[in-house]
Structure 1
Amino acid sequence: MSRLILHVDLDAFYAAVEQRDHPEWHGRPLVVGAEPGQRGVVATCSYEARRFGVHSAMPIVQAVPRLPPETVYVRPSMARYAKVSQQIMGVLETVSPVVERVSIDEAYLDVSRLTALIGPPAVIGAQVKARIWAAVGLTASVGIGPNRLIAKLASEAQKPNGLTIVPPEQVGDFLAPMPFTVLRGIGVKTAPRLERLGVKMIGDVRQLSLETLRHHLGARTGSQVYQQARGLADDRIDPDRPRQSISRETTFPEDVSDPQILEETLRWAAQEVGAIARQTQHLGRAVTLKIRFHPFETHTRSRTLKVPTADDAALFHTAWSLFAAEPWSGRPVRLIGLGISGWSATDGGVQMDLFETAAPEPGPKRDRLAATLDAIRNRFGADAIRRGRSRDLLG
């Protein structure tokens, strides 16, 4: 029997929660994140705001000029969003016993055995959407296909509030007109190589032999691209799948050379990554900086810490020092972000790095400070309190 994988993705999740809780904001552009005149970025925004070219992680100084005067700006309320997310995941578990949560607003379900109980895929998908709406009053886009890749692409096909079913026999037709860049593993080195072969769409990829792809992309990547172009991908759903890393990055709509914007964006990424790491009880030893210049020149720099951490300040300090150590100053940046990996078992405390004397000092006080800041941000919003620049490098 063919596997049936369902991917559910909440539509503009943070913004949708705010519009649900404030009906007077329906239909207006809404930005969740920093406010005009502040330093910071867009955490997410409503579809009304996206029509003006605004997107998640865009610096607020770039977003505000694009948006009309009636735009609503609100600070994130992570505790409220997390509570709604838990309600949604509970709803999904009433549909299928096999649910893999991949972020606060999306999950995969194995619904292979539900056709005899509930009905055909379209009925299952409609029921998932209806149950979410009944429970929390939010819309979700759902995609159903024979594996994770197809289900994910299907959920993106008709956003917002979409439902797309891709039976196995229609996978080829579904994929053929899509740009080849939606395939997993297509990076800054891979894409130009395919373009030189005249490839634009996934249908073009399917015209290339396995030998040709392996020759131009390497054995591993070539084989992966060959399989994905034919709709062959992982169909396993694992509720206990371990998380390999936590990262946040942003692509700027226009290349940025202002160091203050780059620094502030990296601070945002550090705060996001640190908060998720602490919530999930992950301590990481490896901090990675990612940066991209025009057109696709991408660099990563990593540092292994002596002591595992999940602290915002240590993450930012490490990533920013990696940036400062390179001759990149003044070059226009297209993308910047950071990640953490190399997990160590947690013992309930979050320790700091000792890699150099300028790094924040470790100890129980910093553990308590991180916990206190998280509690304040969860209750009053991510920008309700910030670390002072003179006392801490996160500033």
Structure 2
Amino acid sequence: MSKASNKWIMHVDMDAFFASVEQRDRPECRGRPVVVGAQPGSRGVVATCSYEARAFGIRSAMPISEAFRRCPDAVYLKPDIARYVQASQQVMALLETISPVVEPVSVDEAYLDITGLERLYGAPAAIAKRVKDRIRQDVGLGCSVGIGHNRLIAKLASEYRKPDGLTVVLPEQVEPFLDPMPPSNLRGVGPQTLKTVQRLGIQTVKQLRGMSRELLNGYFGEKMAGSLYRQARGLASDQVGERGARQSISKETTFNQDVTDRDHLRSTLRALASEVGYSLRKAGLKGWVVTLKIRLAGFETHTRQRRLAVPGDSDSGLFKVAWDLLEAAAFFEKPIRLIGIGVSGWDADEPVNLDLFTSSEADTRERQLYSVLDSAAERFGKGKLSFGVPTPKKKK
């Protein structure tokens, strides 16, 4: 997108969303470190935490045991999905009163196209303040808002002064805004890319922008080099609400410390399968191929695939296949850095026999449960609402 574009894109990101809902609804939690996720003594992880808890170094996806070690006096709460969904619905409905073009990308963030709304609400900064004030007054929660001429700059701007931030980046301010940022702030810069960036001595986006496209190709490969080249110049899509067809749906997580514990891997994989299942059902898709992704220490990456007898979108079904693949691969003796699950193959020609998905009373109950959960969360993109739907117990 050229700097001459007159588009204004807003990114709204709720601050510590789950924890903030808890602090709003529980006066005794206000001003205290709050951790939402697994309970101390279990093998689960932190879903999110308040900014008071983050002061102790606690963060999302951290093992709950480590969070408790850092702050045993925090308030530890199990997720209350129904209340989070209700709060999110209020936020998204409010945003739709501001702009006719709203794209929720998760339960706690959304993009808005606010181009032309200056005539109604004033300058972009005034629109951002209006959004923040309305969310605070009507929903009782805080958020950070970023505005720029494309999605990348809007997203980076919303992250710039969290929590309770408001940042507008004008076209002529894009490069000065990006210059001091570490390359890790850019989209898609994972551990392996960051390792190469650090080896090259690149500490800022400005330094990255000084590298030629050819040189970037040599170090990062053509695809990643192109992304880095564009992002370093603040170039990105300015389209909101338009998404292309997806070829696969996947979810992965990188552990803070390499993991060998089977229970930890099992609970993590179950949660990931739940998020993928949610995304599949929301998109109206059933996939034929389940892919397990494993990254070992030293960034050694492996994938395993299995084709299903019938296409599926069941959380428990996807988890079972992925877990079988993990057991068959015999990786348990090696430290695992990353684990992920993906589903693809909905364009296959084989017909879908829907009767196969309701072959038992347990299957029926499970799909009814999915229907209830999904309908409550259907307006929000990536499945952040999913914490793992347990497999129905077999009758004795």
TM-score interval w.r.t. the shorter chain?
A: 0.7 to 0.9
The one-letter amino acid of 2:172's match is E
Partner AA of 1:89 in structure 2: M
Identity %: 50
Summarize the alignment of residues 144-163 of structure 1 with structure 2, pairs less than 5 Å apart.
144-163=147-166
Alpha-carbon distance change, 323 to 288 in structure 1, aligned in 2, over 3 angstroms: same
Greater Cα offset, 268-277 or 47-56: 268-277
Shift of 1:88: 0.9
Q: Does 1:326 align with 2:329?
A: yes
Pairing 1:17–2:21 present = yes
Show the counterpart of 1:356.
none
Matched, 1:204 2:207: yes
Q: Does 1:121 align with 2:99?
A: no
In the TM superposition, what is the alpha-carbon distance from 1:171 to its structure 2 partner?
0.8
Aligned pair partner of 1:368 in 333, 355, 365 = 365
1:103-150 CA deviation, whole Å, 9 max, x = no partner? 111110111211232111111111111111122111111111111111
User: Which amino acid letter does the alignment assign opposite residue 97 of structure 2?
Assistant: T
- Counting matched residue pairs gives 382
Aligned: 1:255 with 2:252: no
| 1:27 equivalenced with 2:24 (yes/no) | no
Q: How many Å separate the matches in 2 of 1:242 and 1:17?
A: 34
**Mapped contact 1:281–1:348 kept (Cα < 8 A):** no
In the other structure, the counterpart of 2:81 is 78
**Do the aligned partners of 1:57 and 1:249 also contact (CA within 8 Å) in 2?**
no
Partner letter of residue 104 of structure 2?
Answer: R
Letter paired with 2:224: T
Deviations 1:335-380 (A, max 9, x none): 323233444799997965xxxxxxxx9556413224237759999x
After superposition, the C-alpha distances for 1:185-211 in whole angstroms (9 at most, x for unaligned) are 434543344444332221111111122
Question: Which of these residues, 306, 310, 329, is aligned with residue 309 of structure 2?
Answer: 306
> Does 2:53 correspond to 1:56?
no
Aligned-partner Cα distance in 2 for 1:167–1:156: 16
Answer yes or no: is 1:221 the counterpart of 2:224: yes
SS at match of 1:142: strand
| Aligned with 1:236 (options 225, 239, 255) | 239
Quote the residue 1:44 is aligned against.
48
* Shift of residue 29, structure 1, vs aligned partner: 1.8
Match of residue 341 from structure 2: 338
Task: Give the 3-state SS of the residue equivalent to 1:191 in structure 2.
Answer: helix
2:291 matches 1:288:
yes
Task: Measure, in 2, the Cα distance between the counterparts of 1:30 and 1:281.
Answer: 36
CA positional deviation for 1:383: 8.1
Aligned equivalents of 1:37, 1:87: Cα separation in 2: 34
Contact between 1:27 and 1:48, CA under 8 Å: does it hold in 2?
Answer: yes
Asked if the contact 2:10–2:113 (Cα under 8 Å) also holds between the matched residues in 1, the reply is: yes
AA aligned to 1:330 is E
2: distance between equivalents of 1:240 and 1:210? 27
1:88 and 1:252 mapped to 2: Cα distance?
31
Please say which of residues 158-167 and 243-252 is displaced more in the overlay.
Answer: 243-252
The 3 A distance-change label for structure 1 pair 243 and 160 is farther
Residues 342, 30 of structure 1: alpha-carbon distance in 2 compared, 3 angstrom cutoff? farther
User: What is the CA deviation profile of residues 34-54 of structure 1, one whole-angstrom value per residue up to 9, with x for unaligned ones?
Assistant: 222334332222222222232
- Structure-1 residue corresponding to 2:380: none
Q: How do residues 100-139 of structure 1 correspond to structure 2 at under 5 angstroms?
A: 100-139=103-142
2:45·2:64 contact (CA, 8 Å) conserved in 1? yes
The answer for unaligned runs of 5 or more in structure 1 is: 353-360
Secondary structure, aligned partner of 1:138: coil
Instruction: Verify the 8 A CA contact 2:31 2:52 in the aligned structure 1.
Output: yes
**3-state DSSP class of the match of 1:238?**
coil
Q: Residues 328 and 237 of structure 1: is their aligned pair in 2 closer, same or farther, counting only changes over 3 Å?
A: same
Q: How far is the alpha carbon of 1:11 from its aligned partner? A: 0.9
Q: Tell me which amino acid in the other structure corresponds to 1:6.
A: M
Alignment partner of 1:141: what SS?
A: strand
Q: 1:114 to 1:77 in 2, by over 3 A?
A: same
The verdict on how the C-alpha distance between 1:169 and 1:297 changes in structure 2, with shifts beyond 3 A counting, is: farther
Q: TM-score, normalised by structure 2?
A: 0.84
